[in-house]
Amino acid sequence: MSQALQAVRGMNDILPDEAEIWEHFEDLVRDWLRSYGYRPIRTPIVEPTPLFKRAIGEVTDIVEKEMYSFEDALNGEHLTLRPECTASCVRAAIQHKMLFSGGQRLYYQGPMFRHERPQKGRYRQFHQIGAEALGFAGPDIDAELIMMCSRLWDDLGLEDVKLELNSLGSAEERLRHRAELITYLQRHESLLDEDARRRLHANPLRILDTKNPELQEIVEAAPRLTEFLGAESMAHFKGVQTLLKDAGIPYRINPRLVRGLDYYNRTVFEWVTTRLGAQGTVCAGGRYDGLIEMLGGKPAPAAGFAMGVERLLALWRESGGQAEHAKPDVYVVHVGEKAQRMAFRAAEALRGYGFAVLTHCGAGSFKSQMKKADASDAQLAVVIGDDEAASGEVGLKPLRGPGIQQKVMLDGLADAVAACLFAKEEDEYGSV
């Protein structure tokens, strides 16, 4: 026997028990996004590498060390598995002139790829659900995006998800802050780690969100961007806060929240929990007013967020979130060639009425098939042998609870199944 192959490290199989929870979660999420007027967009998994280099920024964790990039073997094009989807959404919006007809509220969901060290809550293929509001300038949309998230946590029954908020101001404000920040960090240069020293001049803001515990004290005392905000940025930031206060959403202003991607400005936020260990950020987002122009579009403001599905599901499960295991209504048991043909007709007829039906496939005695029917969690078995095939009547047998097997003509089967299932529901919920 040859050696069995394994999935790529950090890329997970999601098996049926787990995938059912994912689908249930995705259903809830889709309803929630629609209730805020967001519409789906699906972009390719693979994009030209320059898209991410330009959008995310050259001196960022993602572009420096996390992208799965390769050359197309056929034409030498530089391609990358998407590490995030905001850049793709903006590229698509520009390419298809979507903003000509005004602002667009978009959402996406799907796998993203980053070459990171795999650990709990951090994978190389992971999944995000994200919303992007393209063409909206005001603090109102920022607040709406945040309020949306808050509602989702409520809908899912998640506790302990806290909002952190900051403003990155405008490019000019960041430039003035940057000069002060460099001076400050230079005073402590001997204490900086290799990453920080390399970024000191290229991207000093990024040093503020270092995860190195030895640098915490230094960055804690660093000059704060919020002190460099001008009147407009300040008014925007206050505008967001007023709407959040009105909505009763508590937040903490975290001056060190700078986000790992270069395209953000003004409002940035993260939703964080202490229940997931080190990987506690379940959702992150903010405003990126320069990105559309930077990627070649007509200048237009925008804001959005992305949430990590694996982390959210871990949290949801902890709070009791689960999915109903999908059960068939009916399992069709049959022995004999004529019986098999009748079984297929019966099953298709029932599906036509909307019932979920498992038809036994493969050989087996009545006894072994009935065992399978029981194990399938179906409510009812339809039983067909040579006698039934000859008479045109099938056996209908309740698999759980009381009730006896009855004989039913094929054209009355759907009604009989409905009667059995409905009677059972009445038993469970009391008669109506």
List of residues contacting ligand ATP (CB under 6 A): 84, 114, 116, 121-123, 126, 128, 260, 279, 281-284, 306-308, 310-311
Q: Which is nearer to ligand ATP, 150 or 369 (CB)?
A: 150
Exposed e or buried b per residue across 182-206, where buried means at least 16 C-beta atoms within 10 angstroms of its C-beta: eeebeeeeeebeebbeebbeebbbb
Q: Which is nearer to ligand ATP, 130 or 169 (CB)?
A: 130
Report, in Å, the least distance between residue 122 CB and ligand ATP. 4
Report, in Å, the least distance between residue 59 CB and ligand ATP. 14
Q: Which is nearer to ligand ATP, 123 or 153 (CB)?
A: 123
Q: Which is nearer to ligand ATP, 11 or 356 (CB)?
A: 11
Crossing angle for the helix pair 16-34 and 309-318, to the nearest 10 degrees: 100
Q: Which is nearer to ligand ATP, 85 or 99 (CB)?
A: 85
Report, in Å, the least distance between residue 227 CB and ligand ATP. 24
Sheet holding 380-384, edge to edge: 357-359, 330-334, 380-384, 393-398, 406-409
Report, in Å, the least distance between residue 232 CB and ligand ATP. 26
Q: By Cβ distance, which residue is nearest to ligand ATP?
A: 308
β-pairing, 104-113 vs 39-40, is: parallel
Report, in Å, the least distance between residue 150 CB and ligand ATP. 16
Nearest residue to 87 (alpha-carbon basis) of 62, 115, 70: 62
Report, in Å, the least distance between residue 301 CB and ligand ATP. 20
Other Cβ atoms closer than 10 A to 133: 24
CB 171 within 8 A of CB 214: no
Q: Which is nearer to ligand ATP, 64 or 377 (CB)?
A: 64
Q: Where are the alpha helices (DSSP H) in 62-215?
A: 86-95, 139-156, 171-187, 194-202, 204-207
Q: Which is nearer to ligand ATP, 237 or 263 (CB)?
A: 263
Report, in Å, the least distance between residue 261 CB and ligand ATP. 6
Report, in Å, the least distance between residue 336 CB and ligand ATP. 53
Q: Which is nearer to ligand ATP, 49 or 279 (CB)?
A: 279
Helix (H, G, I), strand (E, B) or coil at 84: coil
Distance between CA 392 and CA 400 in Å, rounded? 25
Q: How many CA atoms lie within 13 A of 262 on its CB side?
A: 19
374 sits in which H/E element: helix 366-375
Q: How many CA atoms lie within 13 A of 406 on its CB side?
A: 13
